[in-house]
Structure 1
Amino acid sequence: MKEYHLLLFYGSSIFPECILIFGLFLLLVIDVIFDKKKTTWFYFISLTSLVLSIAFLLFQWREEPTIIFFGNLQTNNFNKVFRFLILLCSTLCIPLSVEYIQCTEMAVTEFLLFILTATLGGMFLCGANDLTTIFVSLECLSLCSYLLSGYTKRDIRSNEAIMKYLLMGGTSSSILAYGLSWLYGLSGGEIEIQEIANGLINTQMYNSPGIWIALLSVTVGIAFKLSLVPFHQWTPDVYEGSPTPVVAFISVISKVAALALVTRIFDIIFYFSLNEWHLLLEVSAILSMILGNLIAITQTSIKRMLAYSSIGQIGYILIGIIGKDSINGYASVITYMLLYIFMNLGTFACIVLFSLRTGTDNIRDYAGLYMKDPFSALSLSLCLLSLGGIPPLAGFFGKLYLFWCGWQAGSYLLVSIGLFMSAISIYYYLKIIKLLMTERNKEITPYVQNYRLSSSTSKNYIEFSMIICVIASTLLGIIMNPIVAIAQDTLF
C-alpha cells in the first residue's frame, strides 16, 4: 500500500541521493581550500560517495513503496534497480578518466562535479512522479552531458560535438515539453503520472486527437535520448568528438535513465494508446537495428562504429518493452542493460588506453595490438564478442533471454530482425578482432610499433575498471537465473 509522506524531507528514501549531494559539496570545499594538484582526494571522494550510495540503496531494497515530497518522487524496487544501474555506470566510468584527465590537463573538479550531478539527475529521473520533476531531472542529466561532451575546449571535434549535441538536445527537450504540456491540459491540470491517467478518464480525453499529439511529441523527445532512428543523428558525431571517458559515460547512463522513463510514462499515461505507442516503438526499433548495424560495418573510426552499434543495441532492448508480457519483457530489459553496461564500458576502457598511447581511434591502427599489449587486446576481444552475442559469454545469454521473451510475447518480426542483425554485427566485431591478432610485421601500423606500456599508477585505475567489466562480460551468464529472478522481483 503506497502512502503519502507529507514531510519536506523523507531522508531514508532519498538517502543515496543525499550522499551524492554531500559529496558534491565536499568536492567544492576541498577544491577551494586545498592544493588542486592533489587530485587523488577528488577521485577518492567521488568514488566513495558513489559506493556508499550503492550500499544504502541495496540496504533499502525491501522497503515498502512510498510516494514522497508531496507526490513528486516515488520509490519502489523497480526504480531502485534503475538507480542502481546509474550508480554502477558512474562508479565504473570515473576510473576511466583518471589518466585521460592527466594527459589532457583538464580541470578535475569540474569534471567530477558534472559526472556526479548527471548521476543525480538520472537517479531523480528514475523516481520522478510528476511532469515537473521529470523535465527538471532530465535536463539536469542532459545539460551535464552537453558540458562533458565539449570538455576538451581546445579540440575542434569536441567543440563540434557539443554544438550539435546542444542544438539537437535543446530541440528534443522543447518537443518533449510541448508533449508534456498537452498531457497537463488534457488531464484537467494534473501533473502526477497516475493522476494524469485518471484525469484523462474523467475528462474523456484519452481518445482525443490531442492525446496523439502528446504521444508523438513525448516519443520524439525520449527517442532522441535513446538514439533511436530517425532521431540518432547526433550520436556518431558526439561519440567521435567527445572525450572517450565521457562517451563511455553518456553511452550507458542516458539509455538507463531514458528507459526508466519510458517504462512508466508509456505504461501508465498512454495505457489507453497501447497499440499506437507499441507501433511507434516497433518501427523505431526495426529501423535502429537495421540502420545501426549496417552503417556500423562501413565505419573507420572505432568510436563511430560503437555509436552505430549502440543504436542497434537499443533496438534490441526495445523488444522487451514492446512485448505484451510486461513482467518477463521488463525483466529481460533490466538484465540486458546490466550486461550491456559491463560490455560497453569494458570496450571503452580498452579504447581509452589505446588512444592515450597512440592518439588515434582509427580501427586500422589497432592492427597487431596483441603483439604489444596482449592484455588489452584480449580484453577488447572478449567485450566485443560479448556485445556480438557469442556463446558462452554473458552477452549471448542476455540476448537469448531478451529474444526469448519477445518471441513468447508475440513479437515475431522484431525477434527475427534482431537475430539476423545480431549475426550481421558479429562481422564488424570480428573484423576488429582479426586486426588485433595480426602478426605480420608489414601489416602492423606505426602506432602499434611505437606503442609503449605505461607503469603509471593512473593506468591501474583504467585496468581496474577493465578487469571488472571483462570478468562480468564473460562470466555473468553463469548466474543468469539469479539475475533474472531479481529483475522479475522488482516488478511485483
Structure 2
Amino acid sequence: MYPIILLSVLGIVTLFLGFSKSKNVLLPSTLVFLIIALVGNFVEWNQGPLLYFYDMFRVDNLSLAFNGIVLASAFMIVAISGGFQNDADSEPAEYYALMLLSLVGAIMMIGFQHMIMLFIGVEILSVAMYVLTGSNKRNLRSNEAALKYLLMGAFATGFMLFGMTLIYGATGSFNLSQIQAYVTITNAATPSYLLYAGLLLLLIGMLFKVSAAPFHFWTPDVYEGAPTIFTAFMSTIVKTAGFAALYRLLDSTFAGAYDFWWLALAVIAVLTLLVGNIGAAGQNSFKRMMAYSGISHAGYLLIAVTAISQPSQGAIVFYSIAYSLATICAFAVLLLVSHEKANNEQLGEDYDAFNGLAKRNPLLAFVMTVSMLSLAGIPLTAGFWGKFMVFSSAADRGIIWITVIAVLMSTVGIYYYFRVIMASYLKEGDLAEIRVAPMFKAVMVFATVLTILFGLAPGLFEGLI
C-alpha cells in the first residue's frame, strides 16, 4: 500500500518541481522518489497477506516482489533518461510525473483483490502510456503510434469490462475471494456458461496488455513509433504488471475452472511464440525486432501461467527479472547509438547502426552482447534459467508438447539476437567513440552484472517469495 500513497504524492510533487527555473533538479529528485517508494514497498515484507481499501487491494510477498521489479525497472529507465533535460521543447516534469503516476496503476494491477481495482489500475497505466507514446509531438510515427495504441487499447478495455460484467452477473461479486468460492463450489456442481464467457472476454483484454497473439498487432508499430525511453518503459513495466495480474487472476480465482481455460491459453501461448519469433526473424529494424521479441517472451511467460503451480510462480518472477534487465540494457545501448547516428544525420534504429560497435565502444558492445545472450536463453545468463524454470513448470504439469514447441522457437530466437552481436563484432562501421554519462554507465554495468550473477547462481533467488 505504501508505494501507492508515496508515488501518488511524489508524482504531484514532481509536477510542481517543473515550475523551478532549472530542469536539472528533476532527474535526481525523481530517482530519490523511486528509491523512497522502493524502500516503502518492502516495509510490509513477511507481514502479509494484508487487505486495504475495503478489501480491494492485497499485499503479500508475491505482490511485493513484483512491485520491486517494477520500481527497480523504473529507477533504471529514469536513470538513463537524462536526454529530456537537453531538449528545449520537452517538459521533463510532465514526463517524470506521468511515469511515477503510471506506476500507481501498475501496482494496483499487481495487488488487486477486486475487479474494480484491476480496471482502475489498467486505465491509470494505459492512459499514461498513450500520452508518453505520443510525446514526440513533431514525429508523425509517434503520433500514429499513440493513436493506434489508444484506439486498440479502448477496444481491449471494452472487452475486459464486458467480461467483468458477465462474471459479476454469474457470481454476484467483484471480489476475488467470493468469485473463487463460487468457481470452486457452485460452478463445479453446475457449470455457468455466463461465467465462462466473462472469463474469456476478460482474458482477451488482459492478453492485449501483454502483447499476446492474436492481440499483438499494435506492438511493433507502437514500439517503433514511441520515443525509445518510453518503449523501454512499456516493454518491461507494462508486461511485468500485466503478467502479475494475469497470474493472480487465474491462480487465486479461476484455478477451479482450470480444465476450461488451460487449453485455450496454451494455444494462445504457442501462437504467440510462433508469431513473435518468426516475426522477429524477418525484421531489419532493431526496435521492431525487440517488439516481436517482447511478443515471443510473452509466449514463454504464458506457458508458466498455463502451468499454474508453485514452481510457475517463481518462474514468472525470475523470468520477469531476467527479461527486464536484458531489455533495459538493450534499449540503453540503442539510445546511445541512435543519438550518435542522429547527430550525423543518419538513421540509428536498424541492425546496421551497430556495425563496428565493439571497435570503438567495447563496453557498449559487451552490454548489448550479454543482453542478447540472455534474451536468447544462452547458458550462464539469467535468461537461460528463466526459460529453464518456465519449461520445468510446464513439464511438472505434464504439458510436454508445449515445452517442445517452446524449445524449438528458442532456437529461432538465436538467429535474430545473434545478428546484433555479429554486427557489433564482425562488421565494419563508422561509429565514433560514444561518451557515456556516469549514471548511464552505472545502470548498464549494474544490470549486466546482475544478468551474469543470476546466470551463474540462480539459487540466490530461491526462497525470496
Q: Give me the TM-score of the superposition, normalised by structure 2.
A: 0.94
Matched, 1:234 2:218: yes
Indicate if the aligned counterparts of 1:206 and 1:272 stay in contact, CA closer than 8 A: no
* 1:56 corresponding residue in structure 2: 40
Q: Which residue of 2 aligns with 1:3?
A: none
SS at match of 2:260: helix
2:371 maps to what in 1?
383
Tell me whether 1:31 sits opposite 2:15 in the alignment: no
Matched, 1:15 2:9: no
Structure 2 gap segments, 5+ residues each: 343-347
Q: Alignment partner for residue 385 of structure 2, among 388, 391, 397?
A: 397
Change (3 A) 1:25 1:277: same
Give the match's secondary structure for 1:485: coil
Match of 2:434 in 1: 453
1: CA distance between counterparts of 2:426 and 2:90?
35
CA distance in structure 2 between the partners assigned to 1:368 and 1:437 by the alignment = 6
Alpha-carbon distance in 1 for matches of 2:74, 2:357: 28
1:239-254 → structure 2 map (5 Å cutoff) = 239-254=223-238
AA aligned opposite 2:460? P
* Structure 1 position 365, deviation (Å): 2.6
1:284 maps onto 2:284 in alignment:
no
Give 1:159's match in structure 2, choosing from 143, 157, 164.
143
- Preserved CA contact (<8 Å) 2:141 2:225: yes
Map 1:325-404 onto structure 2 (within 5 A): 326-359=309-342, 360-404=348-392
Aligned to 1:6: none
Residues 346 and 380 in structure 1, CA contact (< 8 A), matched pair in contact too: yes
CA distance in 1: counterparts of 2:83 and 2:190, whole angstroms: 53
- Number of aligned pairs? 459
Pairing 1:408–2:396 present: yes
Cα deviation 1:336-374 (Å, max 9, x = unaligned): 111111011111111111111113201123211222222
Q: What is the SS of the residue equivalent to 2:426?
A: coil
Instruction: Tell me, in whole angstroms, the C-alpha distance in 1 between the residues paired with 2:427 and 2:48.
Output: 58
1:67 partner SS: strand
Answer yes or no: is 1:187 the counterpart of 2:171.
Answer: yes
Contact 1:205 1:211 in 2 (8 A): no
Q: Does 1:475 align with 2:456?
A: no
1:140 aligns with 2:159: no
**Structure 1 residue 397: deviation in Å?**
2.0
Please say if 1:423 is aligned against 2:423.
Answer: no
Post-superposition shift, 1:243? Answer: 0.3
The amino acid of 2:14's aligned partner reads: L
CA deviation map 1:315-351 (0-9, x unaligned) = 1112222115x10111111111111110111111111
Contact kept in structure 1, 2:84 and 2:92, CA below 8 Å: no
Say if 1:100 and 1:352, in contact at 8 Å, map to a contact too.
no
1:200-279 matched pairs, under 5 angstroms: 201=185, 207-279=191-263
- Select the residue among 90, 106, 117 that pairs with 2:90: 106
Counterpart check, 1:294 vs 2:275 = no
Query: Cα RMSD between the aligned structures?
Result: 1.8
Residue 152 of structure 1 aligns to a residue in which SS? coil
2:450 matched to 1:462?
no
- More deviation, 49-58/344-353: 49-58
SS in 1 for 2:324: helix
Is the CA contact 1:98–1:461 (under 8 Å) kept in the aligned structure 2?
no
Mark the CA change 1:206 to 1:248 in structure 2 (over 3 Å): closer, same or farther: farther
- Could you list the per-position Cα deviations for residues 442-461 of structure 1 after superposition, in whole angstroms to 9, with x for gaps in the alignment? xx2xxx34x35236xxx333
CA distance in 2, matches of 1:290, 1:477: 26
Q: Which residue matches 1:11?
A: none
Q: Is the 8 A contact 1:122 1:137 kept in 2?
A: yes
Q: 8 Å contact 1:23–1:45 — kept in the other structure?
A: no
1:25–1:478 distance in 2 versus 1, CA, 3 Å: same
- Give the structure 1 partner of residue 345 of structure 2: none
Secondary structure of the equivalent of 2:213? coil
Q: Is the 8 A contact 1:225 1:255 kept in 2?
A: yes
Q: SS in structure 2 opposite 1:391?
A: coil
- Say which SS state the counterpart of residue 135 (structure 2) adopts: coil
Secondary structure at 1:437's aligned position in 2? helix
The alignment partner of 1:295 has SS state of: helix
1:100/1:356 contact within 8 Å kept: no
**In the aligned structure 2, how far is the partner of 1:439 from the partner of 1:264?**
46
Higher mean Cα deviation, 211-220 or 473-482? 473-482
In terms of mean alpha carbon deviation, does 251-260 or 363-372 score higher? 363-372
Amino acid at match of 1:473: T
Is the deviation greater in 16-25 or in 141-150? 16-25
CA distance in 1, matches of 2:281, 2:456: 30
- Following superposition, the deviation at residue 80 of structure 1 comes to 1.1
Cα shift readout 1:154-183 (whole Å, capped 9, x = no counterpart): 001000100110000010001000000111
User: What residue number does 1:484 align with?
Assistant: 462
Amino acid at match of 1:16: P
Q: Describe the SS at the equivalent of 1:276.
A: helix
Q: Is the 8 A contact 2:130 2:146 kept in 1?
A: yes
Letter in 1 for 2:167: L
Q: TM-score, normalised by structure 1?
A: 0.89
Percent pairwise identity: 28
Aligned partners of 1:61 and 1:77 also within 8 Å: yes
Does the CA contact (< 8 Å) of 1:335 and 1:484 recur in 2?
no
Residue ranges of structure 1 left out of the alignment (5+ in a row): 1-13
- Residues 256 and 170 of structure 1: is their aligned pair in 2 closer, same or farther, counting only changes over 3 Å? same
Aligned equivalents of 1:343, 1:75: Cα separation in 2: 28
Report the residue type matching 1:48 in the other structure: V
